Amino acid sequence: MTALRPSVLVPLIAGLALWQGIVTGLDMPAFILPGPVRVGETLWHSRALLADHALVTLAEILLGLGLGAALGWATALGLAWSPAAARVMRPFLVFSQAVPVFALAPIFTLWFGYGLGSKIAMALLIIYFPVTSAFFDALSNTPRAYLDQARVMGASPARILWCIRMPAALPGLLSGLRLAAVYAPIGAIIGEWVGASRGLGYLMLLANGRAKIDLMFAAVIVVALMTVGLHRAVDALARHVEKRWCG
């Protein structure tokens, strides 16, 4: 961690300095671009409000991430087990990502309401494809020597899938989960933009409508920090699993 601190602090300080330089040099009004000091003050003074809405968004993200990861894992196993199912389902998986998520958000709000359901569905949809695709590709690229040795020893297809292909594909699944940790907040925020009464996405719209741009920037920073923290947590978990099962 100590070795990584300069690589994090230097770009952070440079970014804040550039931000303040733009605000000062161009004499930007606060209702267009507030300075980092003003946003920092808002972060502190509105910490209770931000935390209240952040908990709602975090719940949506974690539920969507868990459900999407579980569904992606199960789908990839099913496609690996049945080549016929893979030929039929893969075009649908690609099509699910071809439709812009903004176009689906109002539909999900209509189907699942303005509560957690529509936001979880959005997060699930966004992360489902990366997890499924990464895990399925890894399952499809099991080293041939492993498969040949298992067949020589008389292993059944189910045993080969569960005991050979799935452990060998674990790094692919973990890579998909790392991507999912970054994408999941996007789905939750989009769902809150379309229709919500709580959450950081809702707070952004509320702040924007009331010309409280410093509060909107503060909410954006909280979302960014939440995403970075979630990615680091998933990455740490993935490293632990890789070390335990693949090392």
Percent with pLDDT over 70 in the chain: 96
Instruction: Give a yes or no: residue 66 inside a domain.
Output: yes
The predicted-structure confidence for 146-187, as pLDDT tens digits, reads as follows 777 878 887 788 888 888 888 888 888 888 899 899 988 988
Of 106-110, 143-147, 222-226, highest mean pLDDT: 222-226
- Kindly state the average pLDDT of the residues 95-121: 82
Instruction: Give a yes or no: residue 93 inside a domain.
Output: yes
Task: Compute the distance between CA of residue 47 and CA of residue 178 in angstroms, rounded to an integer.
Answer: 28
pLDDT band at 229; cut points 50, 70, 90? very high
**pLDDT at residue 8, as a whole number:** 67
CATH number at residue 154: 1.10.3720.10
Provide the mean pLDDT of the chain: 85
The predicted-structure confidence for 120-143, as pLDDT tens digits, reads as follows 888 888 888 889 888 988 888 888
**pLDDT at residue 222, as a whole number:** 95
Instruction: Give a yes or no: residue 123 inside a domain.
Output: yes
Of 170, 184, 179, 89, the residue nearest 135 (C-alpha) = 170
Contact 65, 127 (CB under 8 A): yes
45-59, 98-112, 189-203, 233-247: lowest mean pLDDT where?
Answer: 233-247
Task: Compute the distance between CA of residue 106 and CA of residue 95 in angstroms, rounded to an integer.
Answer: 18
Instruction: Give a yes or no: residue 46 inside a domain.
Output: yes
pTM score of the predicted model: 0.84
Task: Compute the distance between CA of residue 166 and CA of residue 141 in angstroms, rounded to an integer.
Answer: 11
Instruction: Give a yes or no: residue 23 inside a domain.
Output: no
The predicted-structure confidence for 30-78, as pLDDT tens digits, reads as follows 888 888 889 999 999 999 999 999 999 999 999 999 999 999 999 998 8
pLDDT band at 246; cut points 50, 70, 90? low
Range of the domain at 140: 37-246
Instruction: Give a yes or no: residue 100 inside a domain.
Output: yes
Q: How many domains does the chain have?
A: 1
Considering only residues 202 and 7, tell me which one the structure prediction assigns the higher pLDDT. 202
Which residues fall within 8 angstroms of residue 180, CB to CB, at 6 or more apart?
Answer: 65, 68, 69, 72, 127, 130, 131, 234
- What element of type H or E holds 201? helix 200-209
Instruction: Give a yes or no: residue 92 inside a domain.
Output: yes
**pLDDT at residue 33, as a whole number:** 85
pLDDT surpasses 90 at 26: no
Instruction: Give a yes or no: residue 53 inside a domain.
Output: yes
The dihedral of CA 241, 244, 239, 160: what is its sign?
negative
**pLDDT at residue 2, as a whole number:** 46
Structure-token pair, residue 125: 């949809």
Percent with pLDDT over 90 in the chain: 26
**pLDDT at residue 220, as a whole number:** 94
